[in-house]
Homo-oligomer: A and B are copies of this chain.
Amino acid sequence: MAKPFKLSVRAVILDEQGQCLLIRRSSACKNFVGQWEWPGGKVDPGEDFVAALVREVREETSLAVEISGLAGATQYEMAKANVILLCLEARRIVGEVHLSDEHDDAEWVPLAQLHQHSLTDQVRTFMLEYVQRRVSEGHE
């Protein structure tokens, strides 16, 4: 039996200076502890993908965000599922960053400096390719 495909969503929350929010996985996480990621998580069964992203961002960062466009998509394999990861660009509407216990640090990082962080293994290449596209399009 093939592994099921699950949808996850992550938010590239961009500020006016072209920085995006990275958060660091804490020791409360089962894996990838200490690695940096964009906020997000699984779409629950029956949940709209935008609602899922807004919920995950609020749970993980306390920020209220709105989606502004597509950042891209990638896939990776987990123990029990094939994950399709949809990354969306987002803007903060309101709020200041307050982390849940799943993360222990947050940083607004200029896109061109993303590679200096220890990014989650499965999506590191994808994240850096996104940065390259943005920079080559003159959005940096």
Contacts and interface: CB of A to CB of B under 8 A. Distances in A.
Interface of A: 2, 4-5, 7, 43, 45-50, 66-67, 69-70, 72-75, 82, 84, 86, 88
Contact of A73 (B2, B45, B46, B72): B72
Per assembly, the copies of the chain total: 2
Q: Which of A5, A49, A88 has the most B CB atoms < 10 Å from its CB? A: A5
A22 to B, nearest CB: 22
A66 to B, nearest CB: 7
Given A45-B48, A50-B4, A50-B5, A86 B73 contact: yes
A7 B49 contact: yes
Nearest to A75: B70
